[in-house]
Amino acid sequence: MAAANISSAARRVWKSSNGNSPETASDVEMIFEGKNLKDRLSHPNSLTMYRILATPLLVILLMFPNRFCTFVAALLFSAAAITDYLDGLFARRMGLVSNFGKIMDPLADKILVSSAFIMLTSLGWASAWIVCIIIGRELAITGLRNFIAENQMDLSASKLGKYKTGFQIAAIIPLVFHYPYFGINMHAIGTFFLYGALIFTLWSGIDYFVRFRKLLV
């Protein structure tokens, strides 16, 4: 019953964003309505779902910011970040690129990264004003992308967005570790990359809006 509800909800998202139903039996059914567990786990979009499911566990671990929990949380976030690269790679190689993946993959990234930044801010390990700018940019660009998709415009992502994501991940991992390891100040390293993430967040956001404006001219 739960799988059917999720599948139905996903179809509605597809229909509202693309004006039609998902192709064939759809990759949603392959994940949630597969005949066996192996079919579900082997689908590339499962990696996207793992990333979403890892988010609450990350939050729980950071609610207990001792050395052990932060270490596990950092490893968990690192593994989730790796799946961000692998799901797209597997989907292309296996010929399973789908609308579901296009919608959920960036959403899973934003959920994971935003949750990590919010928890780091609550612990006082990341500057709140920087996190506000980063999350605000993500929300603004997401809204703009929805507008572009609904109006059937074409505005591809630039390499600046990839640099932004890279710096955000490079900042979060050491900030979550927090405690020194082998004499290395993890917090200082994370803070350095956090400012780099801020620069690319603003730069990529401005670039996206400028290119969008050119579409309207």
Q: What CATH number has the domain bearing residue 85?
A: 1.20.120.1760
| Number of domains the chain is built from | 1
Give me the pLDDT at residue 215, please.
76
Q: pLDDT of 56-95, one tens digit each?
A: 999 999 999 999 999 999 999 999 888 877 766 666 666 6
The 10 Å Cβ neighbour count of residue 78 is 14
Q: What is the 3-state secondary structure (H, E, C) of 11-41?
A: HHHHHHHHCCCCCCCHHHHHHHCCCCHHHHH
Determine the structural domain holding residue 124 and report its residue range. 44-216
In one letter, which amino acid is 50?
Y
Residue 11 inside a domain? The answer is no
Q: What percent of the chain clears pLDDT 70, i.e. is strictly above it?
A: 71
Residue 32 inside a domain? The answer is no
Closest to 87 measured CA to CA, from 117, 44, 129, 54: 44
Q: pLDDT of 174-215, one tens digit each?
A: 999 999 999 999 999 999 999 999 999 999 999 888 888 877
Residue 167 inside a domain? The answer is yes
For residue 7, give Cα distances in angstroms to 2, 85, 139, 193. Answer: 9, 24, 25, 39
Mean pLDDT of 112-128: 95
Residue 7 inside a domain? The answer is no
What end-to-end distance do the CA atoms of the chain give, in Å? 49
Residue 179 inside a domain? The answer is yes
